[in-house]
């Protein structure tokens, strides 16, 4: 798939915050066509870009960078359309977003523009106020619940309690989305599914985000079925560095798939 699109491969590149700027600026000259960026680098990635899409600029974060032949860097945010694509054609009437970081900003941006009434819960309420929607002191019922925090990366069966959620209360949501992805799924997804709630896990959203990045870098439609199968086969171990498009880059010449 990658070679047919003119790409050598997709490689994970863990980068510390203090070397992010130097690393990103060197990728284009090294033959990389683009990079996906994850927490905690999304806001910084936007600041490093020479140009940015309206979505990335308004959200205030970028998860996709494209390197042009002239050395310029373009920023895009595929978190927002990736979430909507995974949800399907009909946006929910109401949604509760958990978190206030870059992914939460993208979720709020996407859902409000789709006509959804969005509220936000965050352990630090002051930061949630920056998202420009109603902030709640405790999670409350809605048609859609979206976890945009990092809670769920470990194997604890009760990690969702860090979100101030009660397992039995998950039945108050029609759909539960968890942007966290790991082998075997998160306990939030498992508890919601056990109560008959429709679930969308982070891997499904990851595929849609990656598909949009693939098209940005190649100009070609992404093979969604092939990508879904590949992601399912390579579901990450939560104890290992996460090989997601947010931490990897795509390289044109050599074999460092990003």
Q: Which of 12, 33, 41, 42 is catalytic?
A: 42
Rg (CA), the chain: 18
Q: Which DSSP symbol is given to 204?
A: H
Helix (H, G, I), strand (E, B) or coil at 165: coil
Query: Quick check: is 42 catalytic?
Result: yes
Q: Which among 34, 163, 161 is positioned nearest to 96, based on CA atoms?
A: 163
Structure tokens at 130: 């920056």
Residue listed under structure tokens 């048609």: 143
d(CA 115, CA 93) in angstroms, rounded, equals 7
Burial class (CB in 10 A: 0-12, 13-18, 19+), 26: exposed
d(CA 30, CA 187) in angstroms, rounded, equals 40
Contacts for 111 with CB less than 8 Å, ≥ 6 apart: 83, 84, 91, 92, 95, 97, 118, 144, 146
Helix (H, G, I), strand (E, B) or coil at 252: coil
The residues that are catalytic are 42
């Amino acid at each position: 798939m990658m070679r047919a699109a003119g790409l050598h491969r997709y490689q994970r590149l863990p980068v510390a915050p203090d070397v992010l700027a130097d690393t990103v600026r060197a990728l284009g000259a090294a033959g990389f066509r683009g990079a996906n960026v994850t927490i905690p680098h999304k806001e910084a990635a936007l600041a490093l870009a020479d140009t940015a899409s309206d979505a990335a600029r308004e959200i205030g974060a970028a998860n996709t960078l494209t390197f042009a032949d002239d050395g310029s860097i373009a920023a895009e945010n595929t978190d927002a359309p990736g979430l909507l694509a995974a949800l399907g054609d009909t946006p929910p009437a109401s949604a509760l977003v958990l978190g206030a970081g870059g992914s939460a900003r993208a979720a709020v941006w996407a859902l409000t523009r789709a006509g959804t009434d969005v509220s936000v819960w965050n352990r630090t309420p002051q930061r949630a106020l920056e998202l420009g929607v109603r902030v709640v002191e405790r999670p409350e019922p809605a048609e859609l619940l979206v976890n945009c925090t990092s809670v769920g990366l470990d194997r604890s069966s009760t990690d969702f309690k860090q979100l101030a959620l009660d397992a039995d209360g998950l039945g108050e949501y029609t759909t539960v989305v968890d942007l966290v992805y790991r082998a075997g799924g998160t306990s939030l997804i498992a508890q919601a599914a056990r109560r008959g709630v429709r679930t969308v896990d982070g891997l499904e959203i990851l595929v849609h985000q990656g598909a949009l990045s693939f098209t940005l870098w190649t100009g070609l439609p992404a093979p969604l079925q092939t990508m879904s199968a590949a992601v399912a086969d390579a579901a990450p171990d939560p104890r290992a560095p996460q090989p997601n498009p947010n931490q990897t880059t795509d390289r044109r010449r050599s074999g460092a798939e990003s």
